[in-house]
Structure 1
Amino acid sequence: MKKLLFIFCFLICANAFSQILSSSVEKKTIALGEVDHIVITINNLSNEKVSAAPENELLPFHFEEVKDSISQTQDVYYRRIEFAVFEEGKFTIPELEFKVGGKILKTIPYEIDVINTAQKTDQINDIMNNKEVKLEVTDYWQLYKFYILAAIALIALIIAIIIIVKYGRKSKDSPVVATNQTLKELDSLKKKKYVETGNYRSFYVELIDISRKFITKQYRLPADVLLTDDLVDLMKKNNTISQENERVVEDVFLRGDLVKFAKTFPDKETMEKDLSEITEFVKRSSKDLEFENLRKDV
């Protein structure tokens, strides 16, 4: 009898001073995505440290932990985990381990049944009726301003490219530019002193070359490849160059051919006169082009 009483007292004392783990799950059957929770409590800690999986990592894969809160006092460890499951079926929360001092405590396993409560015949209603909203001009601008600005920028770029391609090159080949460039070349020829030194051959070679390049560029005639006789015939048939300018070109070019083949030896006055007449011809060329443009318009 005394032995039984001793054993009974021993068991009471042991239970009084040992840690007690308890756990509970709110629902064993939940809807798809519904939030459920499990609560774990450990009593009689006596300042013992509790070790377990960290927050949001205690439950297995299929259980999406929504909230994991832990609190501990000298005697009680309390942990509440809110979770949801987003797949239909039966899922098990296995034994969860908690280490208290050198002791391992485990919860009991729980089987959770997850069901889909939605039916194919269920009617889905909007929370609110559709409301018609009237948009103002400023609203449309806010909606489409980036598209409008991009379209404007694209159109401006295309116009800029067309202008550059159409007029960019023409500016370099314009009548004024060609005239000024040729006048500079004639002035450079004068400064070479071919007239003063009697170097008539070099003088006429360069004078004719300058004149041919000018006619080619200014009048769009192939003067750089045609023989003098052919060029004169073309000028007369084309009617682009005035008769006065035709006469100057014909006289100077024919004399240049004679000098080139040593059939004539011009004097200083003739060379000066030819340079002067070619210079005036270049200056008068703009009038030829103006007349040609008027004739085309008519």
Structure 2
Amino acid sequence: MKKLVIFLSFFICAIFFSQILSSNLEKKTLALGEVNRFTVKIDNLNNQEVKAAPKDELLPFHFEEIKDSIGVKPDIYERKIEFSIFDEGTYTIPELEFRVGEKILKTIPYEVEVVNTAKKGDVINDIMNNKEVKLDVKDYWELYKWYVLAALALICLIIAIVIIVKYGRKPKDSPVVATNQTLKELDSLKKKKYIEEGNYRSFYVELIDISRKFIVKQYKIPADVLLTDDLIHLMKNNNTISQDNEKVVEDVFYRGDLVKFAKTFPDQQTMEKDFSEIRDFVKRSSKDIEFENLRKDA
């Protein structure tokens, strides 16, 4: 009997003193541009600090956040977000992490369907009857002259590009120039002190943007237009980048994607490590280019 009383006491304490996270999505189906509301509430904080994605950056990029209000009391944390979506389709609010002290709480995922309320069969009636107007050559010229001039300008531009490519002197792309320029950009990123301030989202956005531009210049791989999965797959099949450098790009880029969608919160040590590895990758890249040139000449 005594053990039962002790067990019930522990159970009641766990209920009353543990943090409870709840979330609510007002509407699951929206019209284009309609405002919806998403609420997250955490009870029993006991004066503990809550860490989450920065203001106006909690939801994925398809969700246009209109208002992001955060209310904090000693025992309650409440975050209310108003948003709209302007493209048809089904969109997902993923699991969102909220750190309370050393404990991580997660919301449940939600799906939002966005529909166009305009019906295909809707009839649009003119206010006035259409009138027939006869046009002469001058009228047609006034209507279409800009299209004609634009077409002529495009033809001239294409001819100029062909002449430059065929007869112009092609500048030599130096791996060292691309490396030095990217190292300067990384030094500028370091001076912004995102790592020291814990601004992990801005840090990874700029770090990956610098890395993508560098891969385009140094390896001629269209990293600026490829998704991370497609880029990693292309690098592995391309064989231009060494396996060590591929591993660095793969690890840092995937972590950057998780940070972008608020699925992970890297600490300062992790950000320092990723910065150092990208910097080393940039420095080692010239060896990849030298090896690729030797392989082509063989």
Which TM-score band applies after superposition, normalised by the shorter structure? 0.3 to 0.5
Q: Which has the larger radius of gyration?
A: 1
Q: TM-score when scaled to structure 1?
A: 0.44
Quick one: higher RCO (CA 8 Å, sep 6+), 1 or 2?
2
